[in-house]
Amino acid sequence: MATGLIICGALGREVVEIVKKHGWDVEIIGIPAIDHVFPERIAPHVEERILELRERYERLVVVFGDCGSRGALDQTLERIGIERIAGPHCYEMYAGSQLQALMDEEPGTFFLTDFMVRTFNGLILKSMGLDRYPQLREDYFRNYKRIVYLAQNELPEYRRNAESIAEYLNLPLEIRITGYGMLEQRLVEIMERK
């Protein structure tokens, strides 16, 4: 295989579907999504994978937003000469220009994606200690005013999960169907460049 996609684990299912849809001959290599809870880990983990895989592929592409690394990911990739899909994080990749309008409308918005509604208990509750210290919920989520679920797929179980999360956080829920949004468009653009 000539191309390896080093992807954020939170984009895994979506990237697999996009790859299948376009029939690309690529190998997908994931970075654990838990790194979002500790964004200082993102750049080192991506670099580690690049160094492991660089000799195996003609081309490596990083499918990851900055996701709180505060520019460290882009600095690392520039230093080692690897390209990355554009975008600060998956919320922007899915919602596109709609994201800024949602933030302007209500800065206290907590966003969900399909990945987050599937993994909320592990990614949020466990990693933030809310499974052990439920009283921290109010402290962590005090400033949020609503939840906006940026849905990639209109699956009833995902909707039910989002509703349960909204109930748990005691916040109103809005659902916006985004599909794969700019993630697919940007991935197509980068794959078409040789």
73 and 116 share one domain:
no
* Residues 58-115 pLDDT 10s: 899 999 888 777 888 899 999 999 999 988 888 888 998 899 999 999 999 999 999 9
103 and 151 share one domain:
yes
12 and 36 share one domain:
yes
135 and 62 share one domain:
no
Predicted local distance difference test score (pLDDT) of residue 145: 97
64 and 121 share one domain:
no
Domains of the chain: total: 2
118 pLDDT above the threshold of 80? yes
Q: Provide the 10 A C-beta neighbour count for residue 189.
A: 12
**CATH number of the domain where residue 36 is located:** 3.40.50.11610
* Residues 19-36 pLDDT 10s: 999 999 999 998 888 877
Give the model's confidence band at 1: pLDDT under 50 very low, under 70 low, under 90 confident, else very high: low
114: left (phi over 0), alpha (psi -120 to 50) or beta: alpha
53 and 127 share one domain:
no
The whole-number average pLDDT for the span 129-144 is 92
Provide the domain limits for residue 75.
3-89+181-192
102 and 73 share one domain:
no
Q: Model's pTM, two decimal places?
A: 0.87
Q: Tokens at residue 94, please? A: 């899915």
Question: Residue 118 and residue 122: Cα distance in Å, rounded?
Answer: 9
Beta bridge partners, 29, equal: 6
